[in-house]
Chain A
Amino acid sequence: QQQVKQSPQSLIVQKGGISIINCAYENTAFDYFPWYQQFPGKGPALLIAIRPDVSEKKEGRFTISFNKSAKQFSLHIMDSQPGDSATYFCAASKAGNTGKLIFGQGTTLQVKP
């Protein structure tokens, strides 16, 4: 019940295309859903996060869509660029806890020029 399942494992997109990464969770107590971007040999960097009281959040080219009833959320990268090539992790945590993040398995994105 603590798992967050992420798909696909890897993704290849042409420059200018839309990259879509999906995550699903079981625990309805989760109430904070961040996405992290990680480049090889670096620590993860927070991209964008959402809470379940909104269905969508947009920051620049990055959008999170959230479907509370389906217990799913996704990251959309519009106008994907080669510089977006990285590994993306979704995560979830619940309020009142220690703040522990439960991470998805990760998606390696390659944006071809």
Chain B
Amino acid sequence: GAVVSQHPSWVICKSGTSVKIECRSLDFQATTMFWYRQFPKQSLMLMATSNEGSKATYEQGVEKDKFLINHASLTLSTLTVTSAHPEDSSFYICSARGFPGQETQYFGPGTRLLVL
């Protein structure tokens, strides 16, 4: 149980285009989902926290207009990288948590984004 999927697993796009990444909790309802960014050989950097049906809370330094997050249902959150540029190339990982009081976060497999 507690499986989180991400789609796509990798994406290559041209500079200036927008890319949408989906994160789904497959066998549980996730009231909270988190989006992370990870550079090679570095730790996970939290970008934002999203609760179902409400606006995402972004970490300091993360451009909310650049990284649009939508958490429309208890099983789906999306991250849209708008007008992507080469510096946005990274490994994006989502995680999902069940109802409040359940601290465990289950991570997706990640999405590798390469912007040319």
- By a beta-carbon cutoff of 8 Å, the part of chain A in contact with chain B is 32, 34, 36, 41-46, 49, 89, 93, 95, 98-101, 103-106, 108
Contact = CB atoms under 8 A, between A and B. Distances in A.
A99 B103 contact: yes
A41 B110 contact: yes
A101 B112 contact: no
A95 B104 CA distance: 11
Contact of B93 (A34, A44, A93, A106): A44
B46 interface: yes
B70 interface: no
22 contacts: A34-B104, A42-B109, A43-B95, A43-B108, A43-B110, A44-B93, A44-B107, A45-B107, A46-B104, A46-B107, A49-B103, A93-B103, A95-B101, A98-B57, A99-B34, A99-B100, A99-B105, A100-B34, A101-B105, A105-B42, A106-B41, A106-B42
Q: Give the size category of B's interface with A.
A: 20 to 34
Contact of A98 (B42, B49, B109, B110): B49
A43 B46 contact: no
Interface in B15-56: 32, 34, 41-44, 46, 49, 51
Nearest to A99: B97
A38 B114 CA distance: 21
